[in-house]
Amino acid sequence: MDDYKYQNNYEAYAHNDVYYRGHESNPEEDAQSDVTEGHDEEDEIYEGEYQGIPHPDDVKAKKTNMASFRADDLQDQAELMAERLEDEEQLAHQYETIIDECGHGRFQWILFFVLGLALMADGVEVFVVSFALPSAEKDMCLSSSKKGMLGWGFSMGTHYHYHSWRVFVIVCALPCTVSLVALRFMPESPRFLLEMGKHDEAWMILKHVHDTNMRAKGTPEKVFTVSHIKTPKQMDEFFEIQSSTGTWYQRCLVRFKTTFKQVWDNAQYCVLGPYRMNTLILAVVWFSMALSYYGLTVWFPDMIRYFQDEEYKSKMKVFFGEHVYGATINFTMENQVHQHGKLVNDKFTKMYFKHVLFEDTFFDECYFEDVTSTDTFFKNCTIESTIFYNTDLYEHKFINCRFINSTFLEQKGGCHMDFEQDNDFLIYLVSFLGSLSVLPGNIISALLMDRIGRLKMIGGSMLISAVCCFFLFFGNSESAMIGWQCLFCGTSIAAWNALDVVTVELYPTTQRATAFGILNGLCKFGAILGNTIFASFVGITKVVPILLAATSLVGGGLVALRLPETREQVLM
């Protein structure tokens, strides 16, 4: 019985063993069974494990787990993004109600004043160089290639003097300085703080706005009734290393990485995210406006100066083969050309040469004393036994000339460069009228922005500006070009204002500044390109600049109509 019982138990074990292959018993398999008794298939040692090679099944399982984890993470991020968008929409509507309760009063007027100074500084930046450059280049003796160093004007030179242009630059710098100081005393945007999850700070600022306006209106007893404001869920949590856990450069590195990640994420969100089509359209409009506007604003003064030069050259007097003996010349010689002449024993004293050319002329025993000159040259001349005393006829004004027993004594000091004198007033006039002409456009756009809508104002202003460009074909005088410049600037400024507004309103608070910065950078690139292209055609042809500006304005205006209208839309 005992043997029979043991045999049955063995047979049952053999049937359940993984190495069992039928009813016949195999001694080798029995030996293997004895060795592996107490181990199942999962506990088997993989042959490559002794060599540090992972089992293929383990690798496959790890990849499956990682894919599952990534899918869950993406799903969680998508759900969190959907919740945040819903929270932002609720916040946008609630924020409008809160602002209505805060009212409009003293706080907004103070804010308008501070921001107005900042905008004034931006406007001064655009026009101050054109006003100060004519005087500054004479004061600091700047050539055309060195005018870009104007910003270093206060530190250049060994002798410092308070010239009028320096005072003008200091006065123009005041709005920037005052606004920079005043902004330090203004609170942070409560909407921005709410987007960053800083509820308490935002609530305190809104309460301050409410109390400031109510006190100014004579109702200080009115209570701020808002107790809780919707705060969007935060996508990322940024941790900063404190002083006890890291050095100062580690904390700076963390701040830099955090800021860079925020900027990079915002830029990607604007360019590749749900706002990519709006960003693309706005980029085209910004670029087309900058190319035409800044290109023409540089082209107008250059064309006016070109017309002046052409008119001046048409009045040039040419003297050929004249002989002058023993004469004393003490008056101004202007816009003259003397060719193949002969001057013997002549005196040039206390006189002024202006745009005078002596070519293939012979000077013998002449005397130059206290002579000043502008754009005056001696070319292929022979100068014999002649004395130059206290003059500004420097070496570079003699081109391929031959000197025989001639002497230069006590030449005038100072700048050795020639500068235009007559065009200074014209530069001031053109810049002043161009700046003044945008004032009516600013007023009209402010009054009609909410009536006709942003897109119609952009498209209409750009199309009207394109029509103004075609009238430039008929501008063949200084006065005509100045008039068309004023009309162009006055009509195009409305498009700029509407473009700024629609750019701000199309993006949510967290991406608004980044989007505006990207588009403004593209605008600067268009301005540089426009200045380069338009200036290269001055005196060559008017067709290319006019057609390029008109085509750019028409194309940009039509593309702008594809943008969504933001009038009466709640800001996200």
Burial (0-12, 13-18, 19+ Cβ within 10 Å), 368: buried
Helix pair angle (56-102, 199-216), 10° resolution:
10
The CA dihedral of 500, 503, 509, 514, to the nearest 10 degrees, is: -90
The answer to whether 210 and 102 have CB atoms below 8 angstroms apart is yes
Which of 48, 130, 93, 87 has its CA nearest to residue 531? 130
Asked if residue 370 lies in contact with residue 350, where contact means CB atoms within 8 angstroms, the answer is yes
Residues 303-316 pLDDT 10s: 777 777 777 888 88
- Reported pTM: 0.61
pLDDT confidence of residue 129: 63
Return the minimum-mean-pLDDT range out of 75-79, 155-159, 300-304, 316-320. 155-159
Distance CA 434, CA 19 (A): 98
Q: H/E element holding 391?
A: strand 387-391
SS3 content of the chain, % helix, strand, coil (to 5): 65, 10, 25
| Residue 247 buriedness (CB in 10 A; 0-12 / 13-18 / 19+) | exposed
* Average pLDDT rounded to a whole number, residues 419-442: 71
Q: DSSP 3-state assignment of 37?
A: coil
What is the sign, positive or negative, of the torsion defined by CA atoms of 169, 171, 176, 178? positive
Residue 161 and residue 412: Cα distance in Å, rounded?
19
Q: Which of 410, 319, 335, 322 is nearest to 363 (CA)?
A: 322
Residue 364's closest CA among 412, 332, 391, 327?
Answer: 327
pLDDT classification of 16: cutoffs 50, 70, 90: very low
Query: For the purposes of burial, counting CB atoms within 10 Å of the CB of 66, is it exposed (0-12), middle (13-18) or buried (19 or more)?
Result: exposed
Q: What is the pLDDT of residues 491-509, one digit of tens each?
A: 888 888 888 888 888 877 7
Residue 432 pLDDT > 90, yes or no?
Answer: no
- pLDDT, tens digit, for every residue of 512-540? 778 888 888 888 888 888 878 877 777 78
Express each pLDDT in 186-235 by its tens digit.
888 888 888 777 888 888 988 888 888 888 888 888 888 888 887 776 65
398 DSSP β-pair partners: 378
How far apart, in whole angstroms, are the C-alpha atoms of residue 78 and residue 72?
Answer: 10
pLDDT value, residue 341: 92
Task: Look at residue 371 and give its three-state secondary structure.
Answer: strand
Residue 23 or 355, more confident: 355
Mean pLDDT across the chain = 75
